[in-house]
Amino acid sequence: MSENSLGLTKKEYKGGPSTLCTGCGHDSITNHLVTALYESNTPPHLIAKISGIGCSSKTTNYFVDSAHGFNAIHGRMAPISTGAKIANKDLQIIGISGDGDSASIGLGGFVHLLRRNIPMVYIVENNGVYGLTKGQFSATADEGSTVKSGEHCYFDSIDLCSMAMTSGCGFVARAFSGDKKQLVPLIQAALNFNGTAFIDIVSPCVTFANHEGSTKSFNYVKENKFNLQEFGFVPKSDEISTDYEPGTSQMIKLHDGSFIALKKMNESEFNPTDYTLAMSEIKNAQDQKTVLTGLLYIKEDMKNFLQHEKTNTKTPLVHLEQEKIQPNQYELNQILQAFK
């Protein structure tokens, strides 16, 4: 069996058996995550899997069994991840959330995590419904789409990608659970990003949102998906292979020396470093109800939360023992002078 550079097999990145419905998009995402983590040579013990509540949030139990996981409460994946990452900056946080979890009950936490730019991978497994509570609309359901009972959605969807961009996120992507070729390298790049890497993954709910009228069904996505680029990830140590011919490809260097290689798939002038262009493409896609996938926006030269002067905790806080940090009585007396 093959091994990654840590001498681990892919099996060691797998988790417990899934209890989701057979065919659920979320399970495919889990599989792609396993592949990406394995191929990225991520040390399993440094992975912290954190999620909220929902079918999607259950999946933290289904990959990297040996890592610590935390299936917390509905809508709080973002602040819990924030606390965990600040406590131990060495952790590779994989945050898994749902569209209900992030676009409704956890919207505040979502936006503020991005604003702070907490270094982590933030995945929303987006099916347009609340799977776990049996199929009610979520806020990402498109206007005009229906739930299984036939009820109509009257409101515009919340587009998490554009919201991520306006919240200051420097890595914004959309993908489809069924597109391994695109998703695996996207996750790999996300793992190497120096800040929050957000991926909105359209992930059909086969039980409650795979009907005619859903804009997040397998059929709908397959017919209306528009892939912006062929996405490649080149790890730091690898030579850039000749596949990526200059001119047809855009190379984006990440902070650790790895590269994202984007190969154009069509005539569009799309460039993911162009904020305004990305915004308008997202809006067009939303209006036309197409599923625009790929790396939508990237901004590499941003400070993450732990690089600001106010919060630069170089040693992980969890390793700061009493002997190392407790101030002494003399210092206390100095301070107390002001209260005498």
Footprint on this chain of ligand TPP (rule: CB under 6 A)? 53-56, 74, 98-101, 125, 127, 129-133, 138
**Vertex 138: Cα angle to 136 and 142 (nearest 5):** 110
| Positions in 6-25 near ligand SF4 (CB under 6 A) | 20-21, 24
Q: Is residue 72 part of the contact set for another protein (CB under 8 A)?
A: yes
CB atoms within 10 A of CB 215: 22
Regarding 68 and contact with another protein (CB under 8 A), the answer is: yes
Return the DSSP state at 282.
H
| Residue 47 interacts with ligand SF4 (CB under 6 A): yes or no | no
Tokens 């599923």, located at residue: 291
Query: Among Mg ion, ligand TPP, another protein, none, what binds residue 328 when CB lies within 5 to 8 Å by partner kind?
Result: another protein
Segment near another protein (CB under 8 A); pick from 66-74, 171-179, 188-196, 211-219: 66-74
Place of tokens 């139990």: 61
Residue 104 CB, shortest distance to another protein, in Å, is 13
For residue 311, the partner it binds in Mg ion, another protein, ligand SF4, none, with Cβ less than 5 to 8 A by kind, is another protein
Q: Nearer to ligand TPP by C-beta: 56 or 258? A: 56
* Phi, psi at 151, each rounded to 5°: -60, 140
Alpha-carbon span 241 to 255, nearest angstrom: 20
CA atoms of 118 and 120, how far apart (whole Å) = 6
What value does the CA radius of gyration of the chain take, rounded to a whole number of Å? 21
- Which CB atom, from 71 or from 271, has the smaller least distance to ligand SF4? 71
Dihedral angle over CA of 12, 18, 22, 23, nearest 10: -50
Distance CA(59)–CA(125), nearest Å, equals: 10
Binding interface with another protein (CB under 8 A): 12, 16, 43-48, 50, 60-61, 64-73, 75-76, 78-88, 90-91, 108-109, 111-112, 116, 309-318, 320, 322, 324-329, 331-333, 335-336, 338-340
